Structure formats: C-alpha cells, structure tokens
Structure 1
Amino acid sequence: MNKRTMAGALLVFTGVAYAGAAAAVDLLTVVEQSTDRDADLAAFRAGSRAAGEAVPKARAALLPQLEAGWGRAYNSTVTEGLPNTHYWQNGWTVALTQPVFDWSRWTTYKQADFVQARGAVDLARAQQSAILRAVQTYFDELAAEDELTRANDYTAALDVHLDELRRRRRAGEATVIDVQEAEAAREQAQSQQLDARDDLQLKRLALEHITGQRFAGLSRLSDAAVMPGLHPDDVESWASQAEAHDYTVQLKQIDRRIAELEVEKARAARLPVVNLTASHTPAGAASGYIRPTTTTTAMLSVSIPIFEGGATSANIDEKLALEDRAQDELVAATRLAGASAREYWSRFLAGVARIEALSRLVQSSRAALNATQVGYRVGSRGSTDVLRASDSFFANRRDLIRARYATIVGLLQLKAATASLNLDEVARVNELVLNGEDRQAVAHVDAQHAAVDAKVERAAVGAKMGRPAVGTEMPRALVRAEPPQGVILTDLHPAAIDAAVQRALASIHQQ
C-alpha cells in the first residue's frame, strides 16, 4: 500500500469516526431512557400511587357516612280470627352515621401518613436501583468495547512481530522456537478476540434490554477527565449520612412507627366506641305499617367491650412482638447502611489510588515495550522478551480503563448509600464522559495521522534498505501523567421527596 492509498484510507476512517461520534449517546440519555422504560420501576410508581390513597381512605372513616335507598315490598298478614291483610309498601329512606369516638379509626388515620410515606420512599429506592443498573450496564458495554480494542491491538502487534520473525527466520537470524512461540501467542490473542467479541455482543443486548433500543455508539470517558473528589473527605460523615438517610433505613423507621401504631390500635379494642346515628323514612316507606307513616330517629350509641375470650390481649402481645421485630430490623439496617458507606468510601479512594498507580504502570510498561522492541532489533533482547512486554503493556492498559469505570460506579454507589443519587448526580458524572470529547476526537485523529505517517515512513526507509518495516507504534494509553483539577462531586444531601412524605419522616425523627 503506497502513501497516497494510506492517506485515502485514513480520510475514510476519519469520516467514519466522526459519524460514529455524532451518533453516540451519553450516560444521562441512557439512564433517562432506562428509567422511563423500567417495568419494575413502573410497578413501584403504581404502588406509590396506591399507597397515596391510604390518607383519604382513613380520613373517610372519620367523616359522616350518608346512605339512601329505595324499595318496594309486598306484605301479607294472616291473623287467626281477623281478616287477612295484603298491601304494597314502597318509598325511600336516608341514614346518617357519624363516629364520635373511635380510637382505632383515629389511629388508622395517623398511620395512613406513614403508609403514604413508605410508598414514596420505596419508589425513591427503586429509582436509585434503576439508575445504578443503567450506569453499570453503560460502563459494562464500554469496558467490553475497550477489551475488544485491546485484543485487536494486541493481535495486530503480534502479527507485526510474527512477520518480522518469519523474515528473520528466512534470513537465518531467528529460530524455529521463536516463530512457534509467536504463533502460539497470536493464537491465544485471537481466542481473546473471539471472547471479547462475544462478551461485547452480550453487553450490547443487556443495554438494549433496559433501554428498549439499539444505539449506534456510546460516549466514551474523556482522556482529560479526572476522578472527582469527595467532600467531606471524612468517612464518618458519609457513614452518619447513610445511617440517617439510607432508603432502607428510612423504610425501617417507617415500619417501626407503623408497628407502634398497630399496638395502639390493638389497645383501642378495649376502649368504648361512640357513634351518632340518624335515619329518616318518609310516608309510605315505614316497615310494618299498613298506612303511610313517616319515621325519624336519632340515637347516640355507646359500645363497651367487656369480655372477648382473651383475643384482645393476644392481639396486643402479637403487635408488641412485631414492634420489637421492627426495632431490631431498624438497628440492623442502620448498621448495614453505615458499613456499606464506609465500604464504598474505601473502594472509591482505593480506586483513585489504583488509577494513579496504573497510569504510572502503563507509562512505564509502554516505555519498557518500546525499549524491548529496540533491543530486539539490535539483538540485545529476544523474541520472548518482546511477547512478554507486549502482553504486560496491553494488560495494564485494560486494567487502567476498567479501574476508571469501576471507580465512577463506586462513587455512585456511595451516593446511593446516602440516598443522594438522582439524575442530577448522573448529569455531573456525565460531564466526565462529555468534557473534552471534541478535543479527544481531534487528538485521536491527529494520533492516527501521525501513526500512519510514521508507518509509511518506516515502510519507505525499509524499502530503500532492502528490508520491510519492523514494528508499529503502540497506541497511547488513556492516561495523563499529572491529572488537572477536574469536576468534583460534593455536597451530602438526601434526595428530595414530596412534602407529605417529609412531614411523615420528620415526625419519625421526633420520636
């Protein structure tokens, strides 16, 4: 291939690269589409709407109950020694019932606020889980794409090295063992290519499943992006936030409050119930009267429980045991939330440190590979050294990219542990994906130009010297020697819930 042909192919490749970048979707778009389509999340939304009806239902039990009816009946009365009586009776009646004192109903009304709050908190927790699933799936596909790229680059580097070995073998400068080792390494690399291709297909199907559509490409993490910092940087602050605001903890707090009110309802069975009832039946509807009769009644009734065979005591004991269980579950959830926050905090900091270490390792392994290739050309290094250095460089580059993805996911998991993960936080992380993306695309194209020109020049020099080109420039790893100051995800704050839920939760914390 001459230089002009290579330049034309590069232009085609550049156009395809820009077209793919234009069609790529970012992290925020994927998360929004997945949450809109998530069937589990939709079920929790419906459940939250259903829980919201607990308040009007409980309120209705305290309000007057008005009933009206109409009927027509045939009556036949046979009395010994008296004439038989037959008549039709029809008309309508109105009945009014107003609870005056029913502590069980009043407790149910107080309990309804917490039932509504539980539905809202359950929905918020489900939304966080849906966001985390979408984020994990997004970066899983990016990691699969990076692994396929690594396998392709590694295979291409082995192909170049194998061609050089075969040329040297023909010239008597290499052994059969060297060629066989290189061929075995290339076979292994090709097997890794197949595995990476299959894994990428599965990851794309997973992303298509949660979003409902296939994307032309995903926006990639910018080379200029740095891992965000944490503020505050004290692990105990994050643990305290998680222990107070984790959605599971909030659910257990609500469950405990509901259990306390269940005990109160059970004890209310020992209290009297007072109701006011009134009815009005116009003329013609009075039951048992031959002539049209209008009846109007009003009564204040008091029902006092005296003995129920021990059912009330047993019910109270049962509710007390359930209250103890709810309290124990709250303690367990609080401890787990704090431990999870500490774990995610440690993972994130360890991930940042791992990224820095891998960045230096990639640079050193790249330099070692270049030095090994030069040493091989001058005869101071063997073919096995080149293979080992190539494998080390590409493995370190893969580990670096995966570490960056895992660290970002770990940060979002830490946010979720403190109930502060929402679409705004995803938008902040999305800046890491988009920040400097245009600059990255231009730099990538420039690097491709430089690589192609270098390869062409090596081919031309090799042709003048009567020998083919040796080696190829290794692609640069996605690292920076000294990361600049970047986006910082800060501020501990729980996700906002509606005002009614906040009032219910505030009453819980006041207990």
Structure 2
Amino acid sequence: MRAARCAPASHTRAASAFATATALFAFLALAGHAAPVRAADLLQLYSEAQNRDALIASARSAYLANIEALPQARAALLPQITARWGTVNTHYGSGNISNTFGSSGYSLALTQPIFHWDSWQSYQQGKLTVASAEAAFAQAQQDLILRVATAYFDVLAAQDDLALAGTHKQAIAEQLASAKRNFEVGNATIVDANEAQASFDQATAQEIAAQNTLDVRRAAFARIVGHPVGSLATLRAGSTLPSPEPNNVADWVAQAEQSNYGVQLQTLTLEIARRETSKAKSGYLPSVDLVASGAHSNVGNANSLLTSAMSSPSSQGTGPSSAGQIGIQISIPIFSGGSVQSRMRQTLALEDKAQSDLDDARRLAVLGARTSYLGVSSGLAQVKALEAAEQSAQSSVASNKLGYQVGVRINADVLNAEDKLFTTRRDLAKARYSTLLSSLQLKASAATLVDTDLQLLNALLTENPDASAAMAGAREPAPADAGTGLPARGVRPGTTAPLRR
C-alpha cells in the first residue's frame, strides 16, 4: 500500500519539475526575444581599446616614466644636504703606557650649486624630454584611433567578402542547376554543365578563403580590444563619404610638415642634441658652489672625530666640541686627458644625425599627407565609378540570363557576367572602407586626428544589416526555378554569424 501511494507522488513531483523547467525555458526565450544583443559600433570598441589595448597601456607607462626626467634634472640645481654620524673606539699603546678611549660625533654639510653649466643644460633637456614624452603619447593615442578604425573596417570588409561570396555562390548554383536540367532535356551540351560546375567549385573556394580572412581579422581586432569581437554595426547604404576639409593638398602638406608628430619628436630630439653639445662644453668651464657644514663631537683623549670631519688642525683634549664653516668653492678643470674634446666631437656628430633625421621626418610627413589626400580624393571618384559599374554589371547579368533562356547566349556568358558583378561589388565595398581610412590617415599626418573624428564616422554606421551598403543592390529577384538549385552557404551582408557547416 505504501508503494502504491508513493508512485503518484513521484509522478506529481516529476510533472511539477517539468512544468517549472518549461516555464523557465519560455521565460528565457521571451527575455532573449525582448532584449536582442546590440551590435557594437566604432565608438564603443574604441572606448574598450583605450582601457584594454596593451600598446596604449605601454605608451602610457612610458609617458609617466619619461616625465620624471624634469624633476630629476631639477634636483641637480637644488641644495644637497648630507648628515653623518659615527662612533669610534680607539686603543692607544706606547711602551708600558696603554689607553683605550671612545669618541662619537655628527656633522651636517650643505652644498648649493651656484654655477654648473652642465646641470643647467640637463635641466633644459628635462623640459624637452617632457615635451617629447607628451608628443609621443599623443602619437600613440592617434595610432590607437587608426588601429581601431583599421581593424573595424577590415572586419566589415571581410564580412562583406564572405556575404558577397555566398551570394555569388548561390547565383552560380542556380545557373549550375539550370545547365544540368537543360542537358537532361537535350537543350544544352555537357560543356555548359561542366563550366557551371567549375565556376561553382571556384566560388566555393572563394567562400572558404573569405571565411578564413574574417576569422583572422576578428582575431586581430580582439588583440586590440581585449576580447572576441561580436556583431558590428555596418556602413549604412547611401552614406555620403566625407571629403577632405580643406580640399587642397597644399594646405595639408604644409600642416603636416610643421605639426606631424614624427616631425615634432625629431625637432625635440635635435634640440636635445644641441643641449648635449652645449653641456659637453662645460668641461672647459669652472663650477661654483656655496658650501656650509657644521659638526659636534664628544672625544675621550685623542684626535677628535670633529676635527677629522672638518679637515682642521688636530686638537688634543677631552669633552665635547663644535665647529662650523661656510664659504664659496670654485672648481676649475685644467686637463682631463682629452675626454672633453672627444665628447665634443661625439655630440656634434649626434647633432648632425638628429638634423638628418628631422629632414627625413619632414619628407615622410609630406609623403604621408600627399598619399592620404590622394587616397581620399581618388577613393571618392572610385566609389562613384564602381557604383555605376555595379549597376551596369547587374544589367549585364539580367541581360545574359534572358539571352541564355532564349538561346542567344551561352552558359559561359552568364557565368562571366556573374563573376564581374561579384568582383565589382567586392571592389566597391573595399573602396568605401579604404576611402574612410584614408580620411583618418590624412588627419593623422597633420596631427589633427581626435576622438570626434570617430564620432563622424560612427554616424555613418547602422545596426540594421538590411540597410547596410553591402546589402544595397546585392539581392536580386530569384528566378522561377531557383528552388531547384543547390543550397547557398554563408551569411547575409552586414551580419557576423558564422557559416553553417
């Protein structure tokens, strides 16, 4: 009877647990439905990179270390104070006479530099070192903006390549299915089917390569932001790409030649080298110090510790004693074995090197400004041309498909048209991203790239993949027999889901 009563209870508990689990699953499903994961945008990932990127953290630590050069150099111009204390036990013996006594004492010495040319030049170098550290850190911050933007658009370009490769593969699969059907009914030769199969295999290889490129670029982006990168906001269709402002290459070149961070760093390096040459001349100059000292000692029956510390004539006696002195100390170098002349030759050679490095930095800045400006201007023109080419390629595909259906075109013509459309769309996506990056590089060459420039680019992004630039015109109406084609692989343009295997 007990067993019979227990069985319904166990069934009741199982049913209750099943109902609870079902309700929990439904709640989680609704919660996930109600709060979809938002795609990360450019500003969000840049903010994370500021806190997690190892290179910017290293640059920040280097900056904090280098700015300490100024207080260290200033210390050589400030008073130096030294305190000493000591105790001595002395044993004295002569013939039958033996004596043991103790002495103790302390002294305080102060040295105030009045004229040390090398210390003054080191102090000026400390100021220059701080300025150099600030410029280097500003350059590192600018480089972070470029690295984040480059990695971001590299991932978007790889996503577009994968999506376009999937679309291209699907179109080839439909053409392959059509060629096979026509061969089976005797309307085409086996050549058409073989050509379509070869194109399909090539499209499959392109899709695999695109997936690999996307995985690699995501890993590279994760190195910067410190975590795996999920879904990204994509470039909005119809976005107007920014033009350079001012739209004059001469203005950008002049700005880069003066303000580029590489030029700033080399200018500071040259000035530090000149200060080093001036510091080497101190080997010929005297140095002047204000010195002051005082001492106190308790002596038994011997020369006192005080007199030893003060370098004064010895005194005999017992008991405490005190003394002090103050004065000016002048040191004049006379001969140092030729080290001063050698040091001068060395610093002059380093000064010439710094001057040559500055000239090269200016030329490099000019080259970077010109290259980036041309990248923006030619990129804008290329985008317009490729947009027109995309429309033409779409018309070509439609015309060749119609011609193939009525028998005035062969299958190879359709496949070639599909290849041209795929290549044009891929080149168009790359041209858009390349133009955006060139606009950032142009500002970086003139040392004007700041966080707000990322905000302008971030305004061009959208979380809706159907509204992305890669989706614009990428989807065509499927033919009537599309359902009989081979299944497509890949993801839609603008999404980040992996391939379904």
Which TM bucket (shorter chain)? 0.7 to 0.9
1:311-330 aligned at under 5 Å gives the runs 311-330=339-358
Corresponding residue for residue 304 of structure 1: 332
What SS is found at the alignment partner of 1:127? Answer: helix
Q: Which one of 309, 319, 323 corresponds to residue 295 of structure 1?
A: 323
2:186 aligned to which of 169, 172, 185: 172
SS in 1 for 2:235: coil
Deviation (angstroms), 1:309: 2.1
1:112-123 equivalent positions in 2, closer than 5 A? 112-123=126-137
TM-score (norm 1): 0.81
Counterpart of 2:67 in structure 1 is 52
Alignment deviations for residues 242-275 of structure 1 (CA, whole Å, 9 cap, x no partner):
1101111111100110011111111122111111
The 3-state SS of whatever aligns with 2:135 is helix
Question: Which structure 2 residues correspond to residues 169-318 of structure 1 after superposition, within 5 A?
Answer: 169-284=183-298, 286-287=306-307, 290-318=318-346
Aligned mates of 1:471, 1:360 — CA distance in 2: 30
Paired with 1:303 and 1:181, the residues of 2 have a C-alpha distance of: 94
SS at match of 1:282: strand
Q: 2:283, 2:340 within 8 Å by CA — same for their partners in 1?
A: yes
Report the Cα distance in structure 1 between the residues aligned to 2:330 and 2:152, rounded to whole angstroms. 65
User: 8 Å contact 2:42–2:152 — kept in the other structure?
Assistant: yes
Q: Tell me, in whole angstroms, the C-alpha distance in 2 between the residues paired with 1:164 and 1:298.
A: 107
SS of aligned partner of 1:302: strand
**Does residue 42 of structure 1 match 2:57?**
yes
- Counterpart of 1:507? none
Q: Which amino acid aligns with 2:213?
A: D
1:88 aligns with 2:92: no
Gaps of 5+ in 2: 1-29, 299-304, 309-315, 494-501
Structure 2-normalised TM-score? 0.82
Q: Partners in 2 of 1:142 and 1:192 — Cα distance? A: 17
Q: What is the percentage of aligned positions where both structures have the same residue?
A: 35
Contact 2:276/2:347, CA 8 A, preserved across alignment:
yes
**Residue 82 of structure 1: how far off its partner (Å):** 8.9
8 Å CA contact 1:97, 1:277 repeated in 2: yes
Q: Are residues 21 and 197 of structure 1, via their aligned partners in 2, closer, same or farther at CA, if it must alter by over 3 Å?
A: farther
The answer to whether 1:388 aligns with 2:421 is: no
Among 442, 446, 457, the alignment partner of 1:429 is 457
Q: Among 102, 107, 113, which residue is 1:99 paired with?
A: 113
The change in CA–CA distance for 1:161 and 1:256 in structure 2 (over 3 A counts) is same
Q: Is the 8 A contact 2:155 2:217 kept in 1?
A: yes
Q: Distance in 2 between matches of 1:49 and 1:83?
A: 65
Look up the match of 2:76: 61
Report the Cα offset of residue 130 of structure 1.
2.5
Tell me, in whole angstroms, the C-alpha distance in 2 between the residues paired with 1:443 and 1:125. Answer: 32
In the alignment, structure 1 segments of 5+ residues that lack a partner are: 1-14, 479-511
Amino acid at match of 1:256: L
Match of 1:405 among 426, 433, 436: 433
SS in 2 for 1:286: helix
* CA displacement 1:118-172 (0-9 Å, x = unmatched): 1111112222222222221111111111111111111111111122222222222
**TM-aligned CA distance change 1:363 to 1:202, over 3 Å:** same
Q: Flag the 1:41–1:255 CA change in 2: closer, same or farther, 3 A.
A: same
Q: Is the 8 A contact 1:281 1:294 kept in 2?
A: yes
Q: In structure 1, the residue corresponding to 2:292 is in which secondary structure? A: strand
* Coordinate RMSD, CA, aligned: 2.9
Counterpart amino acid of residue 209 in structure 1: R
**Count of aligned pairs between the two proteins:** 444
Q: What is the CA–CA distance in structure 1 between the aligned matches of 2:402 and 2:427, rounded to whole Å?
A: 25
Cα distance in structure 1, aligned partners of 2:364 and 2:103: 70
Q: Give the equivalent residue in structure 2 for 1:371.
A: 399
CA contact (8 A) 1:157 1:471 kept: no
Give, as a single letter, the amino acid of the residue that structure 1 aligns with 2:39: A
Q: Counterpart in 1 of 2:16?
A: none
